[in-house]
């Protein structure tokens, strides 16, 4: 309840009538109480700011942890797809087991749409589409290889299937590098992107050369 003007006057009159020692004690008490109140207010404001900062920091760390787990899963899915492409070139491989394992890792692709930036989503979708086409093509070639009964035709299929697998992988590698660069950017992982891109390009070039060399050796063995 507000203090009336008359009550204020009475208080001032009382204060004026007091000796200096009493006045000093009253003023000191007021200053002390005011200091405590001011300190409490400052502490309250600082605590509020700290709590808001802590909540924001925890939320940032939680999102970063979620991104890290999902992006690592996406990387495993893409590189796993590369392995599937190569494995399908071998008629002795277990196609059903390969496809089942790769489908299971595709769950990370769906989760990617929740947290990833448009740049990362586009790079990943393009890479995954190309990888999916490669897997399907290799599955068809493998079926032809398995069902071929003519020895001469089968030798040709063995060589062409293996060569196509290597060429597909060599073509996909640079796209995976683009995905990795975008993911690292969102995770705050800094590396020399130009050097990494050059490394992947050299790897792709070596793989193409290896494909040609290996195919020649296989042809030599089959025709011996």
Residue 31 is assigned to a structural domain of this protein: no
How many domains is the chain partitioned into structurally?
A: 1
Residue 25 is assigned to a structural domain of this protein: no
- What's residue 62's pLDDT? 76
Count of CB atoms within 10 A of residue 61's CB?
A: 10
Residue 127 is assigned to a structural domain of this protein: yes
Residue 167 is assigned to a structural domain of this protein: yes
- What's residue 161's pLDDT? 86
- What's residue 162's pLDDT? 84
Residue 143 is assigned to a structural domain of this protein: yes
Token output for 16: 């004026």
Secondary structure in 3-state letters for 182-214: HHHHHHCCCCCHHHHHHHHHHHHHHHHHHHHHH
Coil, strand or helix at 25: helix
Query: Distance between CA 203 and CA 48 in Å, rounded?
Result: 53
- What's residue 224's pLDDT? 61
Q: Measured at the alpha carbon of residue 109, what is the angle toward residues 103 and 113, in degrees to the nearest 5? A: 155
Residue 35 is assigned to a structural domain of this protein: no
Which residue range forms the structural domain that includes residue 74? 63-223
Over its length of 224 residues, how does the chain's per-residue pLDDT go in tens digits? 455 556 656 655 655 565 666 556 555 666 665 566 566 666 666 666 665 665 767 776 777 788 888 888 888 889 888 888 988 888 888 888 888 888 888 888 888 888 888 888 898 999 999 999 999 898 888 888 888 888 888 888 888 888 888 888 888 888 888 888 888 888 888 877 777 777 777 777 777 777 667 667 666 666 66
- What's residue 215's pLDDT? 67
Scan for tokens 């042809």, then name that residue: 219
Query: Distance between CA 121 and CA 181 in Å, rounded?
Result: 12
- What's residue 35's pLDDT? 61
Residue 204 is assigned to a structural domain of this protein: yes
- What's residue 21's pLDDT? 66
- What's residue 155's pLDDT? 80
- What's residue 113's pLDDT? 82
Scan for tokens 């290896």, then name that residue: 210
- What's residue 1's pLDDT? 47
The mean predicted confidence, pLDDT, of the chain is 77
Residue 41 is assigned to a structural domain of this protein: no
Asked if 179 contacts 74 with a C-beta cutoff of 8 angstroms, the reply is yes
């Amino acid at each position: 309840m507000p203090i009336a003007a008359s009550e204020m006057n009475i208080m001032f009159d009382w204060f004026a009538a007091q000796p200096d020692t009493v006045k000093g004690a009253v003023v000191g008490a007021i200053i002390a109480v005011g200091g405590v109140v001011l300190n409490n207010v400052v502490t309250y404001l600082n605590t509020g700011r700290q709590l808001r900062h802590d909540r924001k920091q925890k939320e940032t760390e939680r999102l970063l942890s979620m991104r890290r787990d999902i992006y690592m899963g996406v990387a495993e899915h893409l590189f796993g797809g590369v392995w599937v492409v190569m494995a399908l070139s071998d008629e002795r491989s277990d196609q059903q087991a390969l496809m089942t394992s790769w489908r299971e890792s595709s769950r990370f692709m769906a989760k990617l749409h929740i947290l990833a930036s448009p740049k990362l989503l586009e790079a990943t979708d393009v890479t995954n589409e190309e990888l999916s086409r490669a897997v399907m093509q290799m599955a068809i070639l493998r079926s032809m290889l398995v069902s071929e009964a003519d020895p001469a035709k089968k030798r040709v299929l063995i060589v062409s299937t293996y060569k196509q697998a290597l060429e597909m992988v060599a073509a996909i590698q640079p796209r995976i590098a683009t995905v990795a660069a975008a993911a690292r950017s969102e995770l705050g992982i800094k590396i020399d992107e130009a050097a990494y891109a050059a490394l992947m390009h050299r790897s792709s070039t070596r793989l193409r050369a290896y494909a040609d060399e290996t195919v020649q050796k296989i042809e030599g063995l089959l025709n011996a």
